[in-house]
Amino acid sequence: MLTYKRILLKLSGESLMGEQGYGIDAKRLSEYAEQISEIESMGVQIAIVIGGGNIFRGLSGAAKGFDRVKGDQMGMLATVINSMALSSALDALNVKNRVLTAIGMEPIGELYSSFKAIKCIEAGEVVIVSGGTGNPFFTTDTASALRGIEVKADLMLKGTRVDGIYTTDPEKDPKAEKFSEITFDEIYNRNLKVMDLTATTLCKENKLPIYVFNMDVYGNLKRVMSGEKIGTLVK
C-alpha cells in the first residue's frame, strides 16, 4: 500500500554524469528511467525536476566572469537538455511522459502551468518540468519545492549521491551520524546544507515533507516508495 500517491522527484544533474565527469552518462540515464518506470507501474503519480550541473551551473559561471542572469539562463537551458534526455529514455520504455518548460520553448516542450501539469499527471503521464522557475537567482531545489507545492505532491523526493542527511558531510567525516528523521527547524539550527534556504522554507511553510535518499543505487526509488527506511525524512 502506497503511503504517498503523488510525488515530486528532484534529480541531480551532476549525478547524470555517472563516471564521465561531464554530460550525460547513457547507463545512468537508463537506470533512472527504469527506476521511474518501476514506481509508475505501482500507481505512483510522478512529477520530476532535474538539475543542470552536469552541463552548466549558473552560480559557477558567475564566479568565472559570466553575467549572473545570463549564467542562470544558461543553467535553465541545461535542465531542458537533461529533461529531454530523460523523456527519450522513458519513451524507450513506453512510459507516457511530457516535458513542460518554465519559459516558452515550443516545440521543444509545452509551457508549464500547474493546471496543465496536474491534468497530465492525473491522465497517467510522468511530467518532467524543466527550466527551473524560469527566473534567475533561484536554484532547481527551489524550483522543485515550488513545483511540488503547485502540483499538490504528497512528498518531495530528493535523489542525491548520499543515502540521507548527516550531522556533517559523510564524504569528508567518517564519524558523521545519519538522521532517519529530522525537522525543518533542526536543519536551520544545525545549518545543514540539505537544500538552499528558500527551498527549505517553501517546503516548511507549505507542509511538503522531503525524503533524501541515494538515487544512484539501482532500485532505491522503488524501496522508498515501498516504505523502506533507507534515507532521511524531513518534516
* Domain coordinates in residue numbering, the chain: 6-234
Q: Is the pLDDT of residue 76 over 80?
A: yes
Q: Is the pLDDT of residue 148 over 90?
A: yes
pLDDT tens per residue across span 150-194: 999 999 999 998 999 999 988 889 899 999 999 999 999 999 989
CA-wise closest residue to 59 among 78, 31, 83, 43: 78
Q: What is the pLDDT of residue 100?
A: 98
219: left (phi over 0), alpha (psi -120 to 50) or beta: left
pLDDT tens per residue across span 91-105: 999 999 999 999 999
pLDDT-based confidence at residue 231 (cuts at 50, 70, 90): very high
pLDDT-based confidence at residue 2 (cuts at 50, 70, 90): low
pTM (2 decimals)?
A: 0.94
pLDDT-based confidence at residue 3 (cuts at 50, 70, 90): confident
CATH topology of domain 6-234: Carbamate kinase (3.40.1160)
Yes or no: say if 8 and 151 are a contact pair by the CB < 8 Å rule: yes
CA-wise closest residue to 51 among 79, 24, 70, 29: 79
Q: What is the pLDDT of residue 89?
A: 98
